[in-house]
Structure 1
Amino acid sequence: MHLSLAVLSKKAIEASLQLKWKEAIELNNTILKEYPNNTDAKIRLGRAYMQEKDFTKAKRIFKEVLKSDPINALALKNLELAKNGKSDCPIGSSSHLNTKSLLKEPGTTYETKVPIKTKSLHINDFQSGEELLIKIRKKSIDIYKIKKGKKVLVGEIIDSYIVQRLVYSTNKGEKINVSFVRGKDKDIWVLIKASAPIFKPDKLDIRPYLKKGTIEEPEMEM
């Protein structure tokens, strides 16, 4: 049965988390057959090839990404690693990256943009899944990263809805994690993840009627 992009993406991420690189390659290739311009799937595919030591295919994938997005920080960084015959997260190595933190769950996760304030920071200083530090204030949330052993201010979130939700959750004793997702120019996107549902789930756009007298059956996911 046909699976949606969201389901396939989740399966591809989970395969990587379980170090099932061949399965991750297959799933991301499946996504790209249906969605050939999906950059996230290409990045995941390239990194899976790197873990399988197939650096030739990895380089080809990252070069494809850079044709349409010449300043994609993840593609640039991973292409350089692939050229040197290295993978960014060798099995068994210690790392501050947490790829599992990028899994989105209704009610507990929220993605938002954060403009980079510190001039010395650039998007290529971040890695996908990197955990960031936060300081919750009454009207804003400061985002920090560790660079060369020092805590550096990245920027702040001033969206009142997000601030209110995080203030509420911390008062309730809930745990909050923030992870880097992607970046472009002087902006980064982060995924906020709470230990309990605090956000409104995304609304589904359901339009059952195609035309008078016919009903569109919703796609089933397995």
Structure 2
Amino acid sequence: MAMLNELGGRETLRRQMTELAVRLAKEGRWEDAVRINRAIIENFPNDIEAYNRLGKALLELRRYEEARDAYVKALELDPHNTIAQRNLSRLGLLASELAKEKVPQTPKLPPEMFIEEMGKTGVTTLIHPNRERAVQLSAGDEVVLRPKGRSLIVEGIDGSYLGEIEPRLAQRLVRLMEGGNRYVAAISQVTDAGDVKVFIREVFQHPSQIGKLSFLPEQKGELIRPYVRERLVRQDEVEPILDEEIWEELEGDEWEQARNRLAEAEAVDLEEEEEEDPTPELEEDVP
């Protein structure tokens, strides 16, 4: 008889707690509903409906991971529970939408930034590229140049590593950045072979750096394209094209004069760099 009374008492308690949980849900008191349903589960761990009610309250509070756990537990107790199945499907859709919202939208440089200027812009292929991250970006997506010693690291806006600027150009740009120059950069191209090309533009030249070109006509490993005709560049297809007519116009004396002026500027620049940096230059590899 005592046992029956005890069982009757527990069932009464369960019924009362359930009625309270239902009332709290109807009133939209979700925090209180979470507490009472957890109390029910603590006393009656196999109460499937309590898990469903707990999942509903947590869902309303946008505590999605906890809500999922509650519905999973309900399904463990009853694999055919349609309420738990339906809400787990809903949570799956919510998780997918939330993941899309959390993906940072990489800003693009405005099209006019990709108009090349002699000595102020260049395109270079990264060394040690992070191809898996780079393929998630497209032409025009802004990237960040971060000096690290004499190296120049290229990162995404989210801080992810993308690669490094080749050493000779990196050392030059780092010196100019230390002197006060500022640069912006963006993805130029990610090739099918996995090469990651980056476009770099000088946007501010410090007075102390006047006369120093950021990009020389030739840099080790590739030709830095020094000029293109100003034109409208599509935002979704940023591919600066070398204007060969400009080179054709520079014939004879004009060509030699242009080359001589650049050579003189480079010589003066290198002399100043050697005075600033006593570190001996590394010998270049002989192919």
Shorter-chain TM-score category?
A: 0.3 to 0.5
Higher strand share: 1
Q: Which has the higher contact order (CA 8 A, sep 6+)?
A: 1
The structure having more radius of gyration, on CA atoms, is 2
Normalised by the length of structure 1, the TM-score is 0.43
